[in-house]
Amino acid sequence: MENLRKITKIKLGVMLSSMTLPIAIVIVMAVGRFEFSKESIFFYWSPLPYIICALVEAYLTYKNYRYVKILRDDEYADYYLIKKNDERNKMIRLHTNALVHKIFIYVLAVVLVFTAFLDKSYFIMAGGIALAFLVIHVAVSIYYNKKF
């Protein structure tokens, strides 16, 4: 239980500090010092970047609420430990992560094909993301193959 509280305090600190980035982005965009180009997907008056920042803030607020609840309520902390260590939930989480990775790879392949026709800079950016994903995937696979 004490280990859970220690980890939760660290996570809470990281999440609270990460909440400042979307707020800073919204402030900079609202002031108007950072304008999007006309060629960009996001135009200057588009509400989409603000909606994305609001959704990120809502998610971070929810996570912070859960961390504070773990620190304050012993019963909820016990419930969280049981729920987190349940084999069924672990299996569901692993299958979900595997499926998301597969879908991400297919979507990224489609994006690479479309960006190859649109613009060279978009293609290079999408290729860099694909390459980074591949390198991280290989590094984690090598680590776990040596560990287990």
pLDDT value at residue 27: 74
pLDDT value at residue 45: 57
| CB 126, CB 111: distance < 8 Å | yes
**Looking at residue 45, what DSSP letter applies?**
T
Model confidence, pTM: 0.56
Per-residue pLDDT of 94-115, as tens digits, reads: 899 889 888 988 888 888 888 8
Q: How confident is the model at residue 44 (pLDDT cuts 50, 70, 90)?
A: low
Residue 47 has pLDDT above 80, yes or no: no
- Residue 80 CB neighbour total at 10 angstroms: 17
